């Protein structure tokens, strides 16, 4: 919801470069300018007036930083999810074993991507979620951000900028999550700015795309263009764990019925 609601926001370099040490926070006026760059036809569109809503009582600019970070992060995850859904739906998998008794072929044979997630061993699910939590902690840590010369996105830092892990981890880290092979470090400022605009547009499209895939899998016919092309899924798309995982509180959460 947050990523879709913040679709009027964008990710690019600030229009005016700040003095060294002075954080440049983006304003509502900056968002209107950037919206025109992202899509001149649609332009600025914020029907819920999120840009001017001080939702955390931290100031309008801090709220814009939060929304920008949310959109960029959701867009990046959606791009990976969109490609992953297509790969998994076409029976493509690693040729080796996942664990001592479970192979990637076994997981692929379970059905569509959502069924494949359900077929994963509980330990695999926990490792994935804990690793995501670790990355989230790194992106929120003021200390780790400062080691890369950045600030928190609600305190003048660049939304979407992921810090380097090479200088802060207690053990060697061969590659960083962002630009692991250093392909963009020598790119011109103009090329980087253009790439950031492309990223936000691609992320928005990917968010729509992955939601279309999941909706069609859960409710066949919900997306007419995908009818009959996506494997149906009978499970709960919002529940990462099932009763068979034997984890605390999971069974009670699955039984809970929403009050509507």
What residues form DSSP beta bridges with 103? 97
Q: What six digits make up the tokens of 66?
A: 């939060």
Q: What six digits make up the tokens of 86?
A: 């297509």
Flag whether pLDDT at 198 surpasses 60.
yes
What single string gives the DSSP state of each residue in 41-102? TT----TT--TT--TTSS-HHHHHHHHHHHHHHHHHHHHHHHHHHHHHHTT---SSBSSSS-
Averaged pLDDT, 71-77: 96
How many percent of the chain have pLDDT more than 90? Answer: 68
In 3D, which of 118, 121, 159, 110 has the Cα closest to residue 3? 159
Measured CA to CA, the distance from residue 121 to residue 106 in angstroms comes to 11
87-127 pLDDT tens trace = 999 999 999 999 888 999 999 999 999 999 999 999 999 99
Angle at 159 between CA 158 and CA 165, to 5 degrees: 75
pLDDT (0 to 100) of residue 5: 40
For tokens 């297509």, name the residue. Answer: 86
In 3D, which of 202, 223, 201 has the Cα closest to residue 212? 223
In 3D, which of 235, 258, 239 has the Cα closest to residue 250? 239
Q: For residue 87, give Cα distances in angstroms to 14, 79, 183.
A: 36, 13, 25
| Mean pLDDT lowest among 8-17, 46-55, 209-218 | 8-17
Averaged pLDDT, 133-162: 93
32-56 pLDDT tens trace = 999 999 999 999 999 999 998 888 8
Q: For residue 100, give Cα distances in angstroms to 96, 103, 224, 240.
A: 10, 8, 41, 23
Q: What count of other Cβ atoms lies within 10 Å of the Cβ of residue 106? A: 15
170-180 pLDDT tens trace = 888 888 888 88
Query: Mind listing the domains of the chain with CATH numbers?
Result: 2-255 (1.10.3460)
pLDDT (0 to 100) of residue 180: 87
The runs of H, that is alpha helices, within the chain are 2-5, 28-38, 60-89, 104-108, 113-119, 122-140, 142-147, 189-218, 250-255
| Chain mean position to CA 21 | 29
């Amino acid at each position: 919801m947050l990523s879709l609601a913040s679709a009027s926001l964008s990710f690019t370099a600030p229009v005016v470069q700040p003095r060294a040490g002075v954080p440049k926070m983006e304003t509502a006026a900056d968002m209107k300018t950037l919206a025109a760059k992202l899509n001149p036809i649609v332009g600025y569109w914020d029907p819920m007036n999120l840009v001017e809503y001080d939702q955390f009582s931290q100031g309008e600019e801090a709220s814009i930083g939060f929304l920008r970070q949310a959109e960029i992060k959701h867009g990046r995850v959606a791009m990976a999810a969109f490609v992953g859904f297509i790969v998994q739906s076409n029976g493509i998998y690693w040729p080796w074993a996942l664990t001592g008794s479970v192979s990637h072929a076994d997981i692929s044979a379970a059905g569509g991507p959502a069924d494949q997630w359900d077929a994963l061993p509980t330990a695999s699910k926990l490792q994935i979620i804990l690793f995501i939590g670790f990355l989230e902690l790194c992106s929120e840590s003021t200390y780790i951000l400062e080691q890369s010369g950045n600030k928190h996105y609600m305190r003048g830092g660049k939304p979407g900028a992921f810090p380097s892990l090479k200088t802060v981890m207690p053990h060697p880290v061969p590659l960083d999550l962002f630009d692991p092979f250093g392909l963009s470090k020598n790119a011109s400022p103009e090329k980087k700015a253009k790439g950031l605009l492309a990223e936000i547009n691609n992320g928005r499209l990917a968010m729509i795309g992955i939601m279309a895939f999941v909706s069609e899998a859960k409710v066949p016919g919900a997306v007419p263009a995908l009818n009959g092309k996506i494997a149906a899924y009978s499970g709960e798309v919002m529940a990462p764990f099932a009763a068979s995982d034997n984890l605390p509180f999971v069974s009670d959460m699955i039984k809970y019925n929403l009050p509507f």
